């Protein structure tokens, strides 16, 4: 079995045949080899078949998140310049400007840039980019994950993430690499996912933190079936409170760190390690290296850099721009936007974004450190911490806290932080809100939170 959904299923032979039919449809439009094909197909078996069909036809696939608003789709089309697009109804339409439409794919498929897919970044801190990834990068990611998590052909992965998200696409490709099954949902449904967990319908899940929280709410104290072996949690930092709650509920949670530019995972803490050493995201995948750049000493905190076979090939930064090579130094290291450290055993600890550091009165404050303190409060779902301008201190620490406003007040947050943080690291401004702005994948939009609440 390759795919199953709502009581139906598709074998690998049937999926192969469906992909061939899609490939024939694409070729019938007269597309040149290497052209970009945008896929706006809702999640389901046809979306998977169309994806593999694009590759079967020799094209570069560009799956789009099904939840994109109309203006976001328009931006994606300007950024990707596809030669054709499959709409939500499954119709294949060529793009009017065919001459420029296929240029990204053709340009990106020469030599080491042999791109098979373009994915949009989440855009949590600005407009999204398009990242081009080669087949070898996905193959290396799948092989490393299979080894690290001891995956088997009889596993069944629950696919809750969009194929337009690197976590969802990488999940599908590692399942195919192992020949195991994928349980599809038309969209994320916390009730349905919780039922599958309780019934033992899946052995593995990939979730972002907000999805994990909702699944735990729906489980309502029910224990997961013994067949569930791993719940990967990534896409954003998960709070200690959330991970502890999942552990108490019996979910085998595996915190992971990665990004679109690394074909999904860089490092993952298997469930046993996550229970034993809370806070680590574990060792890098086999074949992948991570180091802290600009650290004062070994094992100190620094900007994290990644090297290895899972790195993406090209990036399209703005509409109208040509694909450019992923920026790496002369030794092949890609510098990320995250800060963390690698301990003496090679395990990775991620502490936040480098570009989010707050400088207040000459003191460097890592927002993630403050967020973790706030998120340890009962009733707090998530916190976003950032610096706001201040005449005396240059910047002061501000926090927007997602919580039930009837049970958590700003005064409670101030009191909680006074008992746990040094004076310069405590928030000077706190606002409690019912919900933080999020991307389609559930990642908190830090810049939107700053713009919306920063001056409150």
For the stretch 335-363, pLDDT in tens is 998 989 999 999 999 988 777 778 887 77
Q: How far is CA 226 from the centre of its chain?
A: 27
Using only C-alpha atoms, what is the Rg of the chain?
A: 22
**Number of other CB atoms surrounding residue 256 within 10 Å:** 26
Same domain, 426 and 280: no
Same domain, 309 and 437: no
CATH number at residue 322: 3.40.50.12780
Question: For 379-391, what is the mean pLDDT?
Answer: 90
Domain count, the chain: 3
Same domain, 232 and 367: no
Residue at 29 is within a domain:
yes
* Distance in angstroms (rounded) separating the CA atoms of residues 159 and 383: 27
Same domain, 428 and 391: yes
Angstrom distances, CA of residue 323 to CA of 73, 312, 327: 19, 12, 12
434-451 pLDDT, tens digit per residue, is 999 988 777 788 888 888
Share of the chain above pLDDT 70, in %: 95
pLDDT at 103: 57
Residue at 84 is within a domain:
yes
* Helix-then-strand count for the chain, H and E: 14, 25
**Mean pLDDT of the chain, nearest integer:** 90
Same domain, 292 and 208: yes
* Distance in angstroms (rounded) separating the CA atoms of residues 38 and 34: 13
Token duo for residue 87? 């709409």
Same domain, 316 and 182: yes
Same domain, 257 and 214: yes
Token duo for residue 323? 């694909």
Same domain, 301 and 329: yes
* Distance in angstroms (rounded) separating the CA atoms of residues 226 and 242: 21
160-189 pLDDT, tens digit per residue, is 999 999 999 999 999 999 999 999 998 899
- Which residue range is the domain that position 152 belongs to? 136-354
Q: Is the full-model pTM beyond 0.85? A: no
Same domain, 348 and 364: no
Same domain, 291 and 303: yes
Q: Give the distance between the most distant pair of CA atoms in the chain.
A: 68
Contact between residue 3 and residue 10 where contact means Cβ atoms under 8 Å apart: yes
* Distance in angstroms (rounded) separating the CA atoms of residues 234 and 245: 16
100 falls in which pLDDT band (50, 70, 90)? Answer: very low
The residue to which tokens 């801190």 are assigned: 125
Same domain, 394 and 327: no
Same domain, 55 and 73: yes
């Amino acid at each position: 079995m390759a795919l199953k959904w709502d009581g139906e299923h598709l074998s690998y032979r049937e999926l192969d045949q469906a992909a061939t039919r899609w490939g024939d449809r694409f070729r019938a439009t007269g597309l040149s080899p290497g052209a970009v094909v945008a896929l706006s197909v809702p999640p389901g078996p046809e979306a998977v078949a169309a994806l593999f069909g694009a590759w079967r036809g020799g094209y570069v696939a560009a799956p789009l998140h099904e939840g994109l608003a109309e203006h976001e789709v328009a931006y994606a089309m300007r950024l990707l310049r596809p030669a054709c697009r499959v709409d939500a109804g499954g119709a294949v339409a060529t793009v009017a400007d065919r001459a420029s439409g296929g240029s990204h794919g053709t340009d990106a498929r020469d030599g080491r840039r042999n791109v098979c897919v373009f994915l949009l970044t989440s855009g949590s801190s600005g407009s999204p980019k398009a990242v081009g990834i080669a087949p070898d990068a996905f193959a290396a990611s799948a092989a490393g994950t299979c080894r690290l998590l001891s995956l088997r052909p009889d596993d069944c992965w629950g696919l809750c993430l969009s194929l337009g998200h690197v976590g969802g696409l990488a999940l599908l490709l590692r399942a195919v690499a192992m020949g195991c099954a994928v349980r599809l949902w038309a969209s994320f449904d916390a009730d349905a996912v919780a039922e599958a967990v309780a019934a033992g319908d899946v052995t593995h899940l990939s979730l972002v933190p907000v999805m994990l929280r909702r699944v735990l709410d729906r489980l309502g104290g029910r224990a997961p079936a013994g067949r569930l072996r791993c719940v990967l949690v990534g896409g954003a930092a998960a709070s200690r409170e959330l991970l502890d709650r999942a552990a108490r509920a019996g979910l085998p949670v595996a915190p992971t760190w990665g990004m679109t530019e690394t074909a999904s995972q860089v490092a993952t803490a298997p469930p046993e390690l996550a229970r034993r050493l809370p806070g680590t995201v574990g060792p890098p995948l086999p074949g992948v290296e991570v180091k802290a750049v600009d650290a004062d000493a070994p094992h100190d905190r620094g900007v994290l850099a990644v090297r290895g076979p899972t790195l993406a090939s090209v990036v399209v930064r703005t509409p109208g721009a040509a694909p450019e090579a992923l920026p790496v130094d002369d030794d092949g290291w890609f510098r990320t936007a995250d800060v963390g450290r690698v301990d003496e055993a090679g395990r990775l600890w991620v502490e936040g974004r480098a570009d989010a550091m707050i400088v207040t009165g000459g003191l460097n404050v890592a927002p993630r450190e403050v967020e973790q303190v706030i998120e340890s409060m009962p009733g707090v779902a998530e916190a976003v911490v950032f610096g706001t301008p201040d005449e005396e201190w240059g910047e002061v620490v501000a926090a927007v806290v997602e919580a039930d406003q009837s049970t958590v007040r700003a005064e409670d947050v101030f009191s909680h932080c006074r008992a746990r943080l040094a004076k310069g690291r405590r928030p000077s401004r706190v606002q409690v809100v019912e919900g933080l702005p999020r991307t389609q994948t559930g990642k908190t939009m830090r810049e939107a939170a700053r713009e919306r609440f920063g001056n409150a």
